[in-house]
A and B are shown apart, each in its own frame.
Chain A
Amino acid sequence: MSSNVQSHAESPHIVGYAAFIKVWIALVVLTGLLVGLSLTHRPNLALLGLLVITPTKASLVLFYFMHLKYESTALKYMVAAAIGVLIIFIGLTFSDYLFR
């Protein structure tokens, strides 16, 4: 039954409730901003929303809720690699569709 038992010195430090609630508030505010921008029916602003606000929201979830900020450098590189691979798949496929 003593699975995964870690001594106190070994456990990663604990982030308290307050920090996460702040992140949540930021996420909700950003969502509101995103919706507001798209309701202006100006395509450039909506695009800004897609390309800037959405990745920012995802990053907040990734770094705080998923604890990536406090993880090892190796894991951070792996996450970057996975996201990078997806971006490359999309980008290289666009090399076909955008130039037909």
Chain B
Amino acid sequence: MSTVVESPTSESSFYARKGIASWLLTTDHKRIGILYLASMMTFFLVGMTFGVFMRLEQLSMGPTIMKPTTYNALFTLHGVFMIFLFVIPGLSAVFGNFFLPIMIGAKDVAFPRLNLLSWYLFMSGAAVALSSLFTGNGPPDTGWSFYVPYSLRTGTNVTMAVFGVFLIGFSSIITGLNFITTMHRLRTKGMNWMRMPLFPWALYATAWVQVLATPILGITLLLVILERVFHLGIFDPSIGGDPILYQHLFWTYSHPAVYIMILPAMGAISEIIPTFAHRTIFGYKAIVISSMGIAAIGSLVWAHHMFTSGMSEVAIVVFSLLTFLVAIPSAIKVFNWVATLYKGSVELRSPMLFALAFIFLFSIGGLTGLFQGALAINVHVHDTYFIVGHFHYVMFGGTGFAFFAALHYWYPKMFGRMYNERAAIVAFVLIFIGFNLLYFTFLVLGLQGMPRRYYDHLPKFHTGHIWATIGSWIMVAGLLLMVINLVRGLFRKTSISANPWGGVTLEWTVPSPPPTENFDVLPVISEPAYTFNPVAKESA
């Protein structure tokens, strides 16, 4: 590495101060990361449960365990929980908060108190959105995209749910603001931009999208609330409003949002692959430029969600072309990761398994995205299960698997403990098999014509639905095993060295778990980010 002064072995890690107040009033970025982790995993499991029930309903034709209106509420909530409460905060909120300062050699983020505020905004938004389940006329049934005019007319509790999302958006904006300032101002001596590891770079690109795209969602949701409450009359077609304008404004945020989801995930993969291939990343500069490129071009493609909505022909051609362009930087990354494996000394530990699966699953997701960007295909597959399969491959197979990979990778550092590796591998295999059984079937069902957001299906789709539901059970079994394994690991009394995996970034030079101050003496950097010297790895 560089001239790092080893901090003296300290008895007290950042967990030392006890008591609930020391957690709820903390400004330590590491504790805030853990707060996000605990809350987000809870929301993930709740969202997963909504999904399980949806699949149970679809196991037989006709209404079985719920009314059609309940199904509508379930897919809305599944989307809202998974997207706004898990995937968008995602790796940024958990691993970005925990590791960004350490990886750039800083003691904390630029605005620690704002960081805590961002978590409280997140939790307040979640509470408000949750309350929509139990108040008024029940949870919204509009789909997570809240399309007008239905979202203006429906009697369900759209206003509460939308206001909750509005608050969560602020949380995202503040995190982005904090990370940008942190990276501009707090990199340690010698850590110039092109020596920064790729996870911080990914967070930087993401932060700009968070800051420049999320406000559009804010204003759009605010307008929906104003229209429902005060009849402002911007989107309502009976007043002359244009529902397509709502879609433009909604997707102008929500498409960049998927890059908020995937960029930090890609950043984590760029950390994990070199460590378990025991060699430097291939094409560091190309990955940096492609990260910024994805953020930039990804902000220009939003109307590919609207090809069949009634836009002008000029617009659909322009957006189709731009959509093809955004695939290029993503593909560059996939080539770089694979090239890193070449002539590497590959170790198939559990984080690496999730990371390799990411490359495979994200590629399928990305390719199916390209199909959808082609106008002739889009007419055929829009609003079918093909789309649902596509976005689960990228959001779940992509960001989800990267999140699990990062969780396993950084687990010993965050908790100073180790989980059971065999259980982790079994869980991984179950999740992988179940995932593909569920979502590949969706791709097939979609091409056959199964529409999305329908509580029932025609007989010709029945076999596919059965396979998919079985896949969901296998996957859920794997997910539960994974969670149980990770939680049990916290109670095993093993202590972990600073560098169990043989990583070369700064977080592996501090104790596991780190002390509150991260570093007693700030490191000085004199080498590029992924310099692997042939030294023996410490035993775990």
Contact = CB atoms under 8 A, between A and B. Distances in A.
A and B in contact, CB less than 8 Å: yes
B343 to A, nearest CB: 39
B315 interface: yes
Q: How large is the interface on A (under 10, 10 to 19, 20 to 34, 35 or more residues)?
A: 10 to 19
Given A74-B184, A85-B299, A96 B212 contact: no
Contact of B248 (A74, A93, A99): A93
Given A74-B184, A85-B212, A85-B299, A92 B312 contact: no
Given A89-B216, A89-B252, A96 B184 contact: no
B212 A92 contact: no
A99 B316 CA distance: 11
B118 to A, nearest CB: 20
Given A98-B312, A99-B312, 16 more contacts: A74-B184, A81-B212, A82-B212, A89-B216, A93-B248, A93-B252, A95-B312, A95-B314, A95-B318, A96-B248, A96-B303, A96-B311, A98-B314, A99-B313, A99-B315, A100-B311
Q: Is the interface of A mostly helix, strand, loop or mixed?
A: helix
A99 B319 CA distance: 14
A99 B314 CA distance: 7
B441 to A, nearest CB: 35
A85 B244 CA distance: 21
B108 to A, nearest CB: 16
Contacts of A95: 312, 314-315, 318
A12 B212 CA distance: 28
A97 interface: yes
A97 B312 CA distance: 7
Interface string A61-100: 0000000000000100000011001001100110111111
B300 interface: yes
A96 B303 CA distance: 9
Interface string A22-48: 000000000000000000000000000
A74 B212 CA distance: 17
Contact of B318 (A82, A89, A92, A97): A92
A98 B312 CA distance: 8
Contacts of A82: 212
Which of A81, A95, A99 has most B Cβ within 10 Å? A95
Contacts of B318: 92, 95
A88 B302 CA distance: 12
Interface string B257-299: 0000000000000000000000000000000000000000001
Interface of A: 74, 81-82, 85, 88-89, 92-93, 95-100
A85 B297 CA distance: 11
B259 to A, nearest CB: 14
Contacts of A92: 300, 303, 315, 318-319
18 contacts: A74-B184, A81-B208, A82-B212, A85-B299, A88-B299, A89-B216, A89-B252, A92-B303, A92-B315, A92-B318, A92-B319, A93-B252, A95-B312, A95-B315, A96-B303, A98-B314, A99-B312, A99-B313
Interface residues of B, number: 17
- CB-CB nearest 5 A-B residue pairs: A99-B312, A96-B315, A99-B314, A96-B311, A95-B315
Contacts of A99: 312-315
A27 to B, nearest CB: 26
A59 to B, nearest CB: 20
Contacts of A74: 184
Contacts of B212: 81-82, 85
Nearest to B180: A78
A93 B309 CA distance: 14
Nearest to B248: A93
Contacts of B314: 95-96, 98-99
A100 B244 CA distance: 12
Nearest to B318: A95
B248 A100 contact: no
A74 B319 CA distance: 30
Contact of A96 (B216, B299, B300, B312): B312
A3 B216 CA distance: 35
A75 B319 CA distance: 30
B12 to A, nearest CB: 27
A63 B212 CA distance: 21
B285 to A, nearest CB: 20
B479 to A, nearest CB: 37
Contacts of B208: 81
Nearest to A75: B184
A81 B319 CA distance: 21
A70 B454 CA distance: 58
Nearest to A93: B248
A90 B131 CA distance: 35
Nearest to B302: A92
A89 B255 CA distance: 13
Contacts of A97: 312
Nearest to B216: A89
Contacts of B252: 89, 93
Nearest to B242: A97
B163 to A, nearest CB: 24
A25 B375 CA distance: 54
A88 B312 contact: no
Nearest to B208: A81
Interface string B301-330: 001000000011111001100000000000
Contacts of A93: 248, 252
Nearest to B249: A93
